[in-house]
């Protein structure tokens, strides 16, 4: 029965029942974690064979004869460039291979823009204020980078096609101090939305007050499908192609990594961009580094040497994750469908489910879950400054727990959502 249709007496009886269920969970002293989108141990085991690929001195030479144990090759060995080009929908000669985390690459790219500008433009730090467009709900670590640098954030709502492009275009054209936009274009964090072709083309061709406006295209989930059937796999139009067609070839900076493909703590990340942007990045990075871990680049390139090898590896990941995402849908539908107090996404890939409870209940839900032993991503984390003005969105991360633990954690979550909703409706 819909909670809003209940009488006050019925709501009170339901609240008392849910409180009793909650108290039983709390008394069990559980410790369950759904706070971050981490691969589980079973997924990490898939890449263990990669660690034994370099067994001799001769194994440490790449296919050009370069000794990967030594200095040099600032932008990555050719084999690694070919691998990362597959993830970035680009050509190897447009790729700059970095260290294990694309987040670091994005952070440092923004730092270079602040210090040096872009392709001869005024350094961003010389303005009294600069700002970024931030589709919401979005990735909390993107927002953390901007907040750390003092860059103002403009939240823009997402729908099933991507960000509200009318608002994005208005902001981009309004002020030369609006310098960029964060995009997770495929299986977005946390909603699972994939940008439509129209959205991608509008991003590429929209008028911008800033000549150095940059699209930070974080294609983190580019090969992270949950289903094998082609018609159940999302595809996104490449922003590089769209920008070149629109006459804005320097506007985009594409990022990806193997963090959720092999080992998050020992992966490979990369950026693809226009030749001018790439040349500038290599020049500026020359004072910072001589080169990243080429042995790790070599291991990855040999472990995933072809499109077919990469696809087969990701199919094995999907087989592990698919039952977990199915369980989320089953538990939420069974536990909350009759109450009409929440909505949630049903993604076809990526690492998250985006959940919206009644306005004003997300923080209370997270608090209750914590008391019962379930750690969730902080309420508000999917908004700039941790401030969800609706206090409704919660990011569910089902990948790391076992199916058994996930089942229990979702039972607790459903109970907490119900209690928070009843408290809100009863004005408690």
Examine the domain organization and report whether 114 and 251 are in the same domain. yes
Examine the domain organization and report whether 72 and 97 are in the same domain. yes
Q: How far is CA 221 from CA 256, 312, 314, 417, in A?
A: 8, 16, 11, 28
Look at residue 285 in the predicted model and tell me its pLDDT.
96
- Strands of the 162-163 sheet, one edge to the other: 95-97, 269-272, 252-257, 214-218, 178-183, 131-136, 152-159, 162-163
Examine the domain organization and report whether 29 and 72 are in the same domain. no
Which structural domain, as residue segments, surrounds residue 400? 3-43+311-425
Average pLDDT over residues 131-138: 98
Flag whether 51 is in a domain: no
Average pLDDT over residues 247-252: 98
Of the residues 277, 305, 333, the one at which a domain ends: 305
Distance CA(339)–CA(357), nearest Å, equals 11
Flag whether 49 is in a domain: no
Distance CA(127)–CA(125), nearest Å, equals 5
Flag whether 55 is in a domain: no
Distance CA(111)–CA(149), nearest Å, equals 8
Shortest CA distance to 395 belongs to which of 352, 346, 347?
352
Confidence of residue 49 (pLDDT cuts 50, 70, 90): very high
Flag whether 50 is in a domain: no
Average pLDDT over residues 105-111: 98
Flag whether 54 is in a domain: no
Flag whether 416 is in a domain: yes
Look at residue 100 in the predicted model and tell me its pLDDT.
94
Residue-wise pLDDT tens digits, 72-90:
999 999 999 999 999 999 9
Strand partners, 225: 349
Residue-wise pLDDT tens digits, 357-375:
999 999 999 999 999 999 9
Look at residue 195 in the predicted model and tell me its pLDDT.
98
Examine the domain organization and report whether 70 and 198 are in the same domain. yes
Confidence of residue 103 (pLDDT cuts 50, 70, 90): very high
Residue-wise pLDDT tens digits, 187-244:
999 999 999 999 999 999 999 999 999 999 999 999 999 999 999 999 999 999 999 9
Of the residues 279, 305, 331, the one at which a domain ends: 305
Flag whether 53 is in a domain: no
Contact 379, 360 (CB under 8 A): no
Q: What percent of the chain has pLDDT over 90?
A: 99
Distance CA(374)–CA(405), nearest Å, equals 10
Look at residue 1 in the predicted model and tell me its pLDDT.
87
pLDDT at 117 over 90: yes
Distance CA(358)–CA(345), nearest Å, equals 15
Look at residue 151 in the predicted model and tell me its pLDDT.
98
Look at residue 428 in the predicted model and tell me its pLDDT.
77
Q: Total domain count for the chain?
A: 2
Look up tokens 């005024």; give the residue.
122
Report CA dihedral (399, 48, 87, 315) to the nearest 10 degrees: -60
Examine the domain organization and report whether 285 and 321 are in the same domain. no
Examine the domain organization and report whether 291 and 337 are in the same domain. no
Q: Which residue has the higher pLDDT, 59 or 36?
A: 59
Look up tokens 């003005």; give the residue.
389
Mean confidence (pLDDT) of the chain:
97
Residue-wise pLDDT tens digits, 253-292:
999 999 999 999 999 999 999 999 999 999 999 999 999 9
Look at residue 420 in the predicted model and tell me its pLDDT.
98
Q: State how far Cα 152 lies from the chain centre.
A: 20
366, containing H or E segment:
helix 362-371
Residue-wise pLDDT tens digits, 16-31:
999 999 999 999 999 9
Look at residue 177 in the predicted model and tell me its pLDDT.
98
Pairing of strands 269-272, 353-357: unpaired
Examine the domain organization and report whether 378 and 392 are in the same domain. yes
**Cβ-count burial of 367 within 10 angstroms (0-12 exposed, 13-18 middle, 19+ buried)?**
middle
Look at residue 152 in the predicted model and tell me its pLDDT.
98
Average pLDDT over residues 287-310: 96
* Interior angle at CA 216, CA 350 and CA 130, nearest 5: 130
Of the residues 289, 305, 321, the one at which a domain ends: 305
Give counts: helices (H), strands (E), the chain: 13, 13
CATH number at residue 400: 3.90.1150.10
Q: Say what the pTM is.
A: 0.96
Confidence of residue 341 (pLDDT cuts 50, 70, 90): very high
- DSSP state letters, 58-106: GGGB-TT--BTTSS--TT--HHHHHHHHHHHTS-GGGEEE-SS-HHHHH
Examine the domain organization and report whether 301 and 317 are in the same domain. no
Examine the domain organization and report whether 292 and 144 are in the same domain. yes
CATH number at residue 243: 3.40.640.10
Look at residue 272 in the predicted model and tell me its pLDDT.
98
Pairing of strands 393-396, 131-136: unpaired
Look up tokens 């927002």; give the residue.
143
DSSP conformational letter for 40: P
Examine the domain organization and report whether 68 and 129 are in the same domain. yes
Flag whether 286 is in a domain: yes
Q: CB neighbours (10 Å) of residue 311?
A: 14
Examine the domain organization and report whether 249 and 203 are in the same domain. yes
Examine the domain organization and report whether 244 and 346 are in the same domain. no
Look up tokens 């991608």; give the residue.
200
């Amino acid at each position: 029965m819909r909670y809003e249709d209940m009488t006050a007496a019925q709501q009170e009886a339901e609240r008392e029942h849910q409180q009793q269920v909650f108290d039983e969970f709390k008394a069990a002293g559980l410790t369950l974690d759904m706070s971050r989108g981490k691969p589980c141990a079973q997924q990490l085991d898939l890449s263990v064979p990669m660690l034994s690929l370099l067994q001799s001195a001769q194994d440490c030479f790449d296919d050009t004869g370069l000794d990967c144990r030594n200095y040099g090759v600032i932008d990555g060995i050719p084999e690694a460039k070919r691998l990362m080009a597959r993830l970035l929908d680009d050509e190897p000669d447009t790729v700059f291979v970095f260290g294990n985390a694309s987040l670091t690459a994005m952070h440092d790219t923004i730092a270079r823009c602040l210090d040096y500008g872009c392709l001869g433009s005024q350094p961003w730090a010389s303005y009294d204020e600069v700002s970024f467009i931030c589709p919401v709900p979005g990735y909390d670590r993107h927002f953390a980078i901007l907040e750390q640098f003092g860059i103002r954030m403009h939240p823009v709502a997402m729908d099933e096609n991507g960000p509200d492009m009318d608002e994005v275009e208005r902001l981009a054209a309004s002020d030369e101090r609006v310098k960029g936009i964060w995009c997770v274009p495929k299986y977005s964090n946390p909603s699972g939305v994939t940008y439509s072709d129209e959205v991608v083309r509008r991003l590429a061709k929209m008028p911008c007050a800033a000549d150095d406006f940059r699209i930070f295209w974080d294609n983190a989930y580019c090969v992270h499908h949950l289903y094998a059937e082609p018609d159940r796999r999302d595809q996104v139009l490449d922003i590089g192609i769209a920008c070149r067609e629109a006459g804005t070839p320097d506007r985009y900076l594409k990022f990806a990594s193997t963090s959720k493909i092999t080992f998050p703590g020992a992966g490979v990340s990369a950026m693809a961009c226009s030749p001018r942007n790439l040349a500038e990045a290599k020049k500026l990075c020359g004072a910072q580094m001589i080169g990243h871990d080429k042995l790790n680049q070599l291991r990855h390139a040999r472990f995933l040497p072809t499109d077919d090898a990469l696809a087969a590896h990701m199919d094995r990941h999907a087989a592990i994750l698919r039952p977990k995402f199915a369980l989320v849908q089953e538990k939420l539908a069974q536990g909350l469908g009759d109450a009409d107090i929440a909505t949630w996404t049903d993604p076809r890939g990526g690492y998250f489910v985006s959940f919206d409870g009644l306005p004003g209940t997300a923080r209370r839900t997270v608090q209750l879950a914590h008391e019962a032993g379930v750690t969730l991503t902080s309420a508000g984390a999917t908004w700039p400054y941790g401030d969800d003005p609706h206090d409704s969105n919660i990011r569910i991360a089902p990948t790391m727990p076992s199916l058994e633990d996930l089942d229990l954690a979702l039972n607790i979550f459903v109970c907490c959502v119900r209690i928070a909703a009843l408290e809100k409706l009863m004005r408690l």
